[in-house]
Amino acid sequence: MIEVTVADGMSEDAALKAAIDTVSIAANAHSVGILITPLGKNKFVVRAHPQVPTGLVRRRLQ
């Protein structure tokens, strides 16, 4: 699990992609997908999650 805070001037997509790339190692090892959960303005949790099919990334809406 990685908590991401997007700083001013930083691309949200780039920050989340970097987190997804890191979490994907664990997700692939455990045959699960990745879930992105917003925590508030510019804050997210990116984690491997068993309810997301292997190879997929899902983003929860607030």
- Would you list the domain boundaries of the chain? 2-59
Q: Which residue type sits at 30?
A: H
Q: What is the pLDDT of residue 29?
A: 97
Q: What is the pLDDT of residue 9?
A: 75
CA separation for the pair 52, 17 (Å, rounded): 17
Sheet holding 57-59, edge to edge: 2-5, 43-49, 33-40, 57-59
Record the pTM. Answer: 0.92
DSSP calls for 18-50: HHHHHHHHHHHHTT-EEEEEEEETTEEEEEEET
Q: What is the pLDDT of residue 8?
A: 82
Tens digit of each residue's pLDDT (9 = 90 or more) over 4-62: 999 887 899 999 999 999 999 999 999 999 999 999 989 999 999 999 999 999 999 87
CB 34, CB 56: distance < 8 Å: yes
